[in-house]
Structures are given as C-alpha cells and as structure tokens.
Amino acid sequence: MSDEVRIEAATREDFGKGAARRARRDGQIPAVLYGHGMDPVHLNLHGHQLTMALRQGLNTLLTIKVDGKDELVLAKDVQVHPLRRVIQHADLLLVKKGEKVTVDVPVEVTGELVPGGQLNQDLTSVSVEAQATHIPESLSVDISSLEIGGQVLASDLQLPAGATLLTDGESLIVGVTEVVDADVETDAVSEEEAAGAEGEGAEAESESEGAAEGDAAEKPADE
C-alpha cells in the first residue's frame, strides 16, 4: 500500500533550460503538476526528498503544498540523466482520496527454482487500476511449486481488494523451462557439422569420379 511522503515544493515562474539548470544547481528538481482539469502548475521540488521518496517506487503517494493547500500527487513520468542517473524532471498527477488511478505495478519473483529448471520472466510489471491511497507496492509470484514447463499468467496474480488487473490476463509473467546442457548442445552441433562435411566430401568425390570418367570417354583411342 502506498505511504504518503511530504515533499517541499514551490511554484516557479522561470522556464527554459537555463532556469532548469539553476534549479538543479540549487538542489531542486523542476516538475509539472496536472490533473482534474486544472491548468498545469510548474513547480520546483526538493531534490533530495523527491529522490529518496521515489526510491520506494514510482507509485509512492506524495503530499505537496500548492498555493497554501496540501495536494496528493503521483509521479507519472520521471526523466533521469542517462549518465549521472539523477532525476532531471518529474510529471506529477493530482489525485484525490477514494478515486482510482491506473499504474504499473512491479512483479517480484520469490521462492526456489526447481532443480534443472531455467526461469524466464516475460513481464516485470503489470497495469493495475487501484485506489490512489491503496496502490500495491509490488505483486509477488512464488515459483516454488512450478515444475519444468510450468507458467504463471497475469490472471494468476493475487491482487489486493479493490484493485483490477488491466493487463491481458493471458499474458505470460514467468515460465520454467529445462536447462539445456551447453556441452551436449555443442556436441550435437559438432556431430551435425561433421555429418554435413562428410556428405559434402562424398558428393565432391562423386563429382570428381564422374568428371574423370567423362574425360576418359572423350579421350580418343591410341592409333
């Protein structure tokens, strides 16, 4: 379930790359707040507080003060610097207690894998509709009971009360396949290559013999 985290915020009037760089230099992160038909509000958020809050997950419910009023928001999009891995900008969605929102919830795999099995995870998150104040932090998949060939579909996930799965229920979350011995596979490939080489050698030899016989037939008899 989402915990509310208070973040210091201040409205901003300066825009553009220069203003954004100055804000980051001062330890703030530019952000835009929207939702419920309101005009977008441009903000500067306390950089360290936002970074620590989002380490709990993107679905962490944030409380910020806008025009003297506390508002509940969710981070819907976060831009991160590709090299420094620090937050550059955030899009915030205004939410109300009791309303439902659509979010992507991470899927965590637990349990021991069956001996000789290999785990393949197709989806690391699923789309869920849930109350803004009751968003699950993650959904757990226990693979302990899965045998070779076993699968877990999206419809098999256990959602908390009030949450609805939006991802196709037939979507594969995880599957267990048999581990293929690399040495055996390599030997099989080598045998196929050897067989192919022998076949090519026999064919070439046959063609060579055929050519020799043809030359002999064309050669005139000695007088």
Express each pLDDT in 160-215 by its tens digit.
Answer: 999 999 999 999 999 999 998 755 555 555 566 655 656 555 555 555 555 555 55
Domain presence at residue 215: no
Q: Which two tokens stand for residue 91?
A: 């899009």
List residues bridging with 16 in a β-sheet.
Answer: none
Domain presence at residue 29: yes
Sorting pLDDT into bands at 50, 70 and 90, what band is 221? Answer: very low
List residues bridging with 62 in a β-sheet.
Answer: 5, 73
Domain presence at residue 111: yes
Domain presence at residue 13: yes
Domain boundary residue, one of 95, 116, 142: 95
Q: Please give the average per-residue pLDDT across 19-37, as a whole number.
A: 88
pTM: 0.70
From 98, 90, 43, select the one nearest 65 (Cα to Cα): 43
Residue 41's CATH number: 2.40.240.10
Domain presence at residue 212: no
The answer on 120 and 82 residing in a single domain is no
| Contact call for residues 92 and 59 (beta carbons, < 8 A) | no
The answer on 111 and 41 residing in a single domain is no
DSSP 223: -
Q: The domain containing residue 48 runs over which residues?
A: 4-95
The answer on 8 and 74 residing in a single domain is yes
| pLDDT computed for residue 173 by the predictor | 97
Domain presence at residue 9: yes
Residue 118's CATH number: 2.170.120.20
Q: How many domains does the chain have?
A: 2
| pLDDT computed for residue 193 by the predictor | 65
Residue 27: left (phi > 0), alpha (psi -120 to 50), or beta? left
Sorting pLDDT into bands at 50, 70 and 90, what band is 23? Answer: confident
pLDDT in tens, 111-122: 999 999 999 999
